[in-house]
Structure 1
Amino acid sequence: MGLVRVTPPQGDVIPLEELRRQVRVDHADEDDDIRTLAAGVVSFLEGDGTGLESCWLGRVLLPQSWALTLDAFPARAIMLPIGPVIAVESITYIDADGDAQEIDSEKYRLLADRLPAEIVPAFGESWPLAREEEAVITVTFRAGYAGGQELDSPPGPSAVPKSICQAIKLIVAHWYANRETVNIGNIVNNLPWAAEALLTPQRTALSRLAWSDRP
């Protein structure tokens, strides 16, 4: 199984004005530094787009597209490791004759209210026969807190859980006040206790499992 980000998110999770208030800055001289700190927090929570192993939260925030590759169709449900899932964009595969095929969207259902979200065949349908080869199936899906918005129209911060937004602001403020001691590459040891308390309940079971052997 492979999982990569196809289309990165656009926009800011927390508006710059809110971040300025959090760090108690009323001028624009340090906007770039504040944005860099906020981007570092979001990058840690969401990962670098190379799979669940880099995503500490197990969730993504602003709308973005991901591609999941599989070696074979499962017996029933295709599990989508990153959430929250907004929509399935396509399911393509290589058939037994070596031809590329796309499954009609009416032949499957997205169970987005589950965590992790699942894709199952529609009533009376089953997964087709794919060629016996690695990565012959690609599921492209859209994830993030977006409702029905498009990738180029990211939601406001109200769409992201308030606990996550508050944690991001707390971490940015902590890093801003302690810039000389912060090592973004070792972020997990630089989380303020209050921020970690807000974020921990939001972590998915799959992300906890993927990070279970980390120091």
Structure 2
Amino acid sequence: MLVREPLTQEEADQPPVDLAKAKQALKIHHDDDDGLICSWLWAAVEMADAALGRSLLPRHWVRRLDAFPGGRLLLMPDVQSVVAVRYIDRDGVDQLVPPENYSLIGQRVLEPLKSWPAGHSVRVGFIAAYCANSASVPDGIRNWLYVQAGTFDTTRQVISDKPFYTTTYLDRLLDGHRYESL
């Protein structure tokens, strides 16, 4: 199972893309909803992560396994660094696999340099990112994020008299950035 660690409050308070440009795209000219717009943008980033099959911006992820595999361990695309590889040994003690015992190959695969230790409840913490920061998000993806935030804005209520329009055609903006597994 792959789990994204929750944003810290400091991260959540910072928009994933330029807030002024997002507000301009949304035609919002006041600061009253800045926190709400930030949350819409982060929700849109999570939607983009799922649609792209990769982490758009630097985030901490954890891959959880019942036990180590027989060889290589597949993570997700664009892994920047491995934070820690932990497991529970036969005596029930939480252990850390030393970094010199594994190698990251091609920003996606973790290979043991020796065999993996015997144990269970394996947790591999890592940082992954397709874009180094919000300034490097490609224009097509940034525009897609703005449209998604705009959709949240126009459908604030669960029940609304406003028609709901799907944005399927806009998903084509993401096509060149999707990670297609083999």
- Provide the TM-score with structure 2 as the length reference: 0.75
Match of 1:205, SS state, is coil
Task: Pick one of 84, 93, 96 that aligns with 1:90.
Answer: 84
AA aligned to 1:126 is: S
**CA shift at 1:33, angstroms?**
5.2
1:128-162 residue CA offsets vs partner (Å, 9 max, x unmatched): 2x23xxx5211111223464xxxxxxx3x223333
Shift of 1:58: 1.9
Equivalent in the alignment of 1:143: 128
Tell me if the contact between 1:170 and 1:192 (Cα under 8 Å) persists in the aligned partners.
no
Q: Distance in 2 between matches of 1:201 and 1:146?
A: 14
Give 1:30 deviation, angstroms.
Answer: 4.9
Contact 1:86-1:146 at 8 Å conserved across structures: no
* Inter-partner Cα distance in structure 1 for 2:88 and 2:43: 38
Match of 2:167 in 1: 191
Question: Any conservation in 1 of the 2:81–2:126 contact (CA below 8 Å)?
Answer: yes
Q: Kindly indicate whether residue 109 of structure 2 is the aligned counterpart of residue 127 of structure 1.
A: no
2:18 is the counterpart of 1:18: no
In 1, are the aligned partners of 2:17 and 2:135 still within 8 Å (CA)? no
Structure 1: gaps spanning 5 or more residues:
47-54, 148-154, 183-188, 210-215
Distance 1:78 1:25 in 2: 46
Please list the CA deviations of residues 157-190 of structure 1 after superposition, one character each: whole Å capped at 9, or x if unmatched. 22333331122123334665676334xxxxxx72
Does structure 2 retain, via aligned residues, the 8 Å contact 1:86–1:141? yes
Q: What does residue 76 of structure 1 align with?
A: 71
- Alignment correspondent of 1:161: 138
Q: CA RMSD in A?
A: 2.9
1:202 Cα shift?
2.6
The 1:181/1:32 distance shift into structure 2, 3 A limit, reads: farther
Matched AA of 2:4: R
One-letter amino acid matched to 1:121: P
Asked if the contact 1:13–1:61 (Cα under 8 Å) also holds between the matched residues in 2, the reply is no
- TM-score scaled to structure 1, two decimals? 0.65
Cα 1:32–1:140 shift into 2, 3 Å:
closer
Give the paired residue count.
173
**Change in 2 beyond 3 A, CA 1:192/1:175:** farther
Q: Which residue number corresponds to residue 159 of structure 2?
A: none
How far, CA to CA, are the matches of 2:91 and 2:149 in structure 1? 53
